[in-house]
Amino acid sequence: MISFFLNLYRFARILFHGIKNDSEFRFLLIFIILLLVGSTFFYSINENWSILDSLYFSVMTMATIGYGDLVPTSSIGKIFTIIFTFLSIGGFVSFTAKMIQLTLEHRNDKIWKRNQ
């Protein structure tokens, strides 16, 4: 349980550092948030899903999980999902890669400072 909170703290620290110091990270984070907010509202209005179901579907699509328990039924919903999928997967992969880069840079900085 302690390791969970320690990892959560490390994640939050790297997230804060990325927001504060890296413009590319800020752009990717804002892009991901805008995609999720926009798609959540679209699905809740167009497909008549609850906000939670809409967010759930958006995250599952973005992360390429796709359980298939929710499926858009309208033509516009299907077209939107195609566009959303291409945009969100690219954004999600870029964001994840940036998080890994920041994590490794942070780790290397700690090692470098320790060895001086």
Residue 59 pLDDT grade (very low, low, confident, very high; cuts 50, 70, 90): very high
HSE-CB for 79 with a 13 A CA cutoff:
4
pLDDT at 61 exceeding the cut of 80: yes
* Domain residue ranges in the chain: 18-108
pTM of the predicted model as reported, rounded to 2 decimal places: 0.83
- From the list 11, 15, 62, the residue with the least C-alpha distance to 34 is 62
Residue 14 pLDDT grade (very low, low, confident, very high; cuts 50, 70, 90): confident
More confident residue, 55 or 11: 55
For residue 23, the model assigns a pLDDT of 92
CA–CA separation, 103 vs 54, rounded Å?
Answer: 31
18-108, CATH topology level: Helix Hairpins (1.10.287)
Tokens of 24: 């590319």
- Cβ-based neighbours of 46, under 8 Å, separated by 6 or more: 72, 74, 76, 77, 80
CA–CA separation, 51 vs 72, rounded Å?
Answer: 14
Tokens of 61: 């699509």
pLDDT at 11 exceeding the cut of 90: no
Q: What stretch of H or E contains 47? A: none
For residue 45, the model assigns a pLDDT of 97
- Average confidence (pLDDT) over 1-12: 87
Tokens of 41: 């509202």
